Each structure stands twice: as C-alpha cells, then as structure tokens.
C-alpha cells in the first residue's frame, strides 16, 4: 500500500534565481549505490553517498526516474507518477533523501517524464478500452490509412514507425520511443492538469525542481502531417546514432509544436509558488538552440534548457564553441542554457573525445567559466571512460535494436566505483545489474580522494572557482573568439571583470588580452599576459584573469 504520511520536507531556502549558474550533479539511481544487495542502486544508496556530491561543490542533484515502472526503458516508462518503484525503495526513503540533501545544502531535482507513460499505466489501460471512455482521448490515437498501414511517416527514436496497433480500439497509438511508451495527448486539457498535479505532488514533498525529459515532445501536430525528409548533409548523431533512420527526417510535426509554450507557462506558475526551477531536455538535432531560446526567454517560462550541442560525438573545439554561442546570441540572446558534456544517454565524453586527464581538466574548468548552468554526470569527476559491454550483458533495448553498429547506452550507465579493492567497486554486495569494468577500479573514489593532483581534486577546485566569482556564476559573457585551438571571452558581473582563455589542444597557443591591468584571478589558473598584451598558454591550459 502506498505511504500516505505527509512529508516533513520543504524546499531549500535561498534566492529565487538560485538556479542561475548552478552546478547540477546527475545521479542515475540504478548505478549509484546499492544498499540491499539486489545489484541495483536505490534511494537509500543515494542518501548514503550524498557527502561525495556535497564535497564536490555541487548546488543540486538531479535524480533520474525512480517511479513505479515495468522498467522496459529503466524508469523512463512510468506506471505510477506518485510512488517509488520497490526496486528503489519507498516514499519514506525519498523523504529521507530530501532531508539529508537539504541538510548538506543540496537542492533536489527529479526527472519528470511527462511526454509519455508506460503502457502499464492505468491511464493507458483505460484509454485503450474504447473510443468513448473518460480517458479515451488521453493518448494520441489515429485511424489507419485505408490500406491498414500507419497514419503517417513519423518514426520512433528507438527505431521503426512511431505507431503501434491496438486491436481493442482498431486504431494506432503514437509512441515516439518504445512501443510500450505511448505518448500522452497534451492537446487534451485534462492531460495537462494531470501532469501539473504530478508536479504539485512532488513539490509538496519538498523537491526543488525538475529535469524535464524530452520537453519538446509534449505536443504533436493535430493534423498528423508527415515529417519532411532531411538532406543527408544535415544528419548528425547528437540525438540518435547515424545508423538510426530517425535521422533521415526533419521532425517538424511529431514534436516541436508551438502549443508547448502555453503548457510551460502553467508549469512555471506552479513552480514559482515553491521557488522551484526546471531544466528541460531539448532533443532536436536541427533546432536545439532555437527551442532552448523559445523555452527559456522569459520569466514565465522554464529557467534552463540544454540542447545536444555539447553532447555530440565531434569534439568541442574552440571554433565549435564560439559558433554555438554566436548562434545562441543571434537566435536567443536572453536564453539561459544548461551545458553538459555527458549524461545517461550518451557515451562518456572522456572516451567520446579521447581525452587525457589534462584535457579533461581543461574542459572541466572551461565548463565552469561559460555562461549558463552546468550538469555533471556521475563518475565524470573520477574520469570514468565508456565501458565496453558485450551483447550477453546488454540491458538497453536501444542497443539491442541497433547492435552492433550502435552498442546502446549501457556503456555510460555502469555502476559507480567507490572502493578499488571492494567487491564490485563497493557498489553492491550482490551481482550488479551491469558489470563493473575492471578498467574503472583504478579510478575508484577512495583512490581519487587521496590524489591531490587528480581529476576529482580538480573538479572540486573548478567548482569552488565558480562559486568564488559571481561573474562566472551569473554574469554577462562577451567577446568570445577562437584563435586556432584557443578560446577566449570576457565575463562581467557582481562587481568584477574576468578574462578567460582556454587552450583546447595539446600544443602551445596564445591569445590577445584586452587592454587593462589584468592579473591572475587565483593560483592554479594561469599566469598574466606579457608586456605586449599577449597571453601564452601551455597545452590544455586555462587562464583566468581579473581586471584590477
């Protein structure tokens, strides 16, 4: 029976714009810490390890879904939005987690999957019974074409048509992801109210905000018009692997609809009552920055969104970063981005970009200096590389569908390694749901803790730098330029002016420094310019100067 006790938690106190420039640490609960020996991480395990996140210097945690679910997509197929899946614990465990996080000064953001549910959700079970029930229109149903084929050419992110047949209704239902993940019909006002009620439930339990999964998938084109073809030159792997035909369409009609703005305004009005904030995931390879701007440019919309520009396979060069910010400045100068190099859906950036520890440190420092908020993915502070998972151990349905050309997402989801010499790296006393790679053990947290010059220490230093300088956390950004492998820009705010230069290469580079009395902002972040106004940078060096 579901626990009904009123939770004691309330949102963490602080300014209304606490989210601006915040560093958010993503926790994938299946793989963080297991406390009951079943090989799957749980909420109690997160609570046990929160000290690690607090010492890192993060402002908030984002917990991937832990709701009741058949786990066909490992929690992103929700069967009950108001309860914890027994695999992860109970509502009481969640309340204890929130209380502990708040005690450490960490805000708690949870992953809300609003665009679709599991086909096991009671709403869908009611909807599929017939065309006249109270929830008949809660999902996207459509008649077949005269020849019985699917209503249009829309494709699923996970492969194949985005439509599944129901013999009970003699109609197809839309699923942008797995066939067991039917899409909700947000054109129905009752659906919107139900989703707002879900958000209200968790806000009342003390959460400080949400990560909004697939925020641009909420609405579909009412007329179900076909998506146009996408030229081969426009295809990229930032949202789906190139082997997936999903990349062959421009998804103008299956997502990205203008009605999304109206719902986001309703959600923002609710969150403002709790001083809560949201970061939306914009899953679109062609217009991610445009949508980020549309969804965050205004005090009545979402506070933050992230696109997939920093999650692509192509390494982030100085030129690419400058081009991304130039496009953002042109299309949405008032948008507030949230940047991430890695997450639970993409290969870890250490492997994706073939980074040495020195290079990883440079990218970490740069992330803490860019305008916007930032998401860190569990284990990146240890320098964990992408794991090699064999097909026999594979759990991800996405990987099974496109194996071996695409090996799925399990390589970035393997368990955290806490202790080098403990069974399974200290993650579990049982058999882990995914194998713990031997290659990860030398990077276990207990060893990293002892290395004052290692990557973990650098993450702590970089996050402390961001907190120490209001210009980095929330200030304006200007004059970004790329000089070969070196990226430079200015940050200004909170009564300080900073100049940042990052050499994103393994060879020496240099940049011109603006006129003024510039000096190093602190130990460990570069030296000052020479007498001619030039700043020389060693391989993978990041310099931060302050105007005296």
Q: Which residues are tagged catalytic?
A: 213, 281
Query: Does residue 182 contact residue 126 with C-beta atoms inside 8 Å?
Result: no
Q: What angle do CA 33, 34, 40 make, to 5 degrees?
A: 110
Cα 423 to Cα 242, 438, 450, distances in angstroms: 37, 11, 20
Residue 404: is the preceding peptide bond cis (ω within 30°)? yes
Query: Does residue 286 contact residue 230 with C-beta atoms inside 8 Å?
Result: yes
Cα separation of 81 and 38, whole Å? Answer: 23
Residue-wise DSSP of 24-78 = EEEE-GGGT--SSSSSS--HHHHHHHHHHHHHHT-SEEEEPP-EE---TTTTSS-
Which residues pair with residue 171 across a beta bridge? 166
Tokens 């950036």 belong to: 349
Secondary structure letter of residue 96 according to DSSP: H
Cα separation of 327 and 436, whole Å? Answer: 40
β-strand pairing of 518-520 with 338-340: unpaired
Q: Mapping DSSP to helix (H, G, I), strand (E, B) and coil, where does residue 488 land? A: strand
Q: Long-range contact list for 129-134, CB < 8 A, 24+ apart?
A: 129/168, 129/169, 130/168, 130/169, 131/169, 131/171
């Amino acid at each position: 029976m579901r626990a009904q006790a009123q939770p004691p938690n309330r949102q963490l106190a602080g300014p209304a714009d606490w989210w601006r420039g915040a560093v958010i640490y993503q926790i994938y609960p299946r793989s963080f810490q297991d406390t009951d020996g079943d090989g799957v991480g749980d909420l109690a395990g997160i609570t046990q390890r929160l000290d690690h996140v607090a010492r890192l210097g993060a402002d908030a945690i984002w917990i991937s879904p832990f709701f009741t679910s058949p786990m066909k997509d490992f929690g992103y197929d929700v069967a009950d939005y108001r309860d914890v899946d027994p695999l992860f614990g109970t509502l009481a465990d969640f309340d204890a987690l929130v209380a502990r996080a708040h005690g450490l000064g960490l805000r708690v953001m949870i992953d809300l999957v609003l665009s679709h549910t599991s086909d096991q959700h009671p709403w869908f079970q009611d909807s599929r019974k017939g065309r006249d029930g109270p929830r008949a229109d809660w999902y996207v149903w459509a008649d077949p074409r005269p020849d019985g084929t699917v209503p249009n050419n829309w494709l699923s992110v996970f492969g194949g048509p985005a439509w599944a047949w129901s013999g009970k209704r003699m109609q197809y239902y839309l699923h942008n992801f797995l066939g067991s993940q039917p899409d909700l019909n947000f054109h129905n006002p009752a659906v919107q109210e139900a989703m707002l009620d879900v958000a209200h439930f968790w806000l009342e339990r003390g959460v400080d905000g949400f990560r909004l999964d697939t925020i641009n998938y909420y609405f579909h084109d009412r007329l179900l018009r076909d998506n146009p073809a996408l030229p081969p030159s426009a295809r990229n792997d930032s949202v789906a692997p190139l082997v997936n035909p999903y990349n062959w369409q421009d998804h103008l009609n299956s997502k990205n609809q203008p009605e999304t703005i109206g719902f986001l305004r309703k959600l923002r009005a609710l969150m403002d009552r709790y001083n809560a904030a949201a970061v939306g995931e914009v899953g679109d390879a062609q217009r991610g920055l445009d949508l980020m701007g549309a969804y965050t440019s205004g005090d009545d919309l979402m506070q933050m969104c992230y696109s997939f520009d920093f999650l692509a396979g192509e390494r982030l060069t100085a030129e690419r970063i400058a081009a991304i910010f130039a496009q953002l400045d042109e299309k949405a100068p008032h948008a507030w981005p949230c940047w991430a190099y890695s997450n639970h859906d993409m290969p870890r950036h250490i492997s994706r970009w073939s980074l040495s520890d020195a290079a990883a440190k440079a990218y970490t420092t740069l992330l803490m200096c860019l305008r916007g908020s930032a998401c860190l993915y569990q284990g990146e502070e240890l320098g964990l590389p992408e794991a090699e998972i064999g097909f026999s151990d594979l759990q991800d349905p996405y990987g099974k569908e496109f194996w071996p050309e695409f090996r799925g997402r399990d390589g970035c989801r393997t368990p955290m390694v806490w202790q080098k010499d403990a069974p399974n790296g200290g993650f579990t006393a049982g058999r882990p749901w995914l194998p713990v790679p031997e290659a990860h053990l030398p990077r276990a947290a207990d060893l990293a803790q002892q290395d004052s010059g290692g990557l973990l220490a650098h993450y702590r230093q970089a996050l402390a730098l961001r907190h120490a300088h209001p210009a980095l956390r929330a200030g304006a950004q200007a004059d970004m330029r790329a000089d070969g492998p070196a990226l430079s820009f200015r940050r200004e705010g909170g009564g300080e002016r900073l100049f940042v230069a990052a050499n994103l290469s393994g060879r020496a580079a240099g940049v011109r420094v603006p006129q003024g009395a510039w000096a190093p902002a602190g130990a460990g972040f570069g030296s000052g310019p020479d007498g001619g106004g030039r700043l020389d940078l060693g391989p993978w060096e990041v310099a931060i100067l302050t105007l005296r």
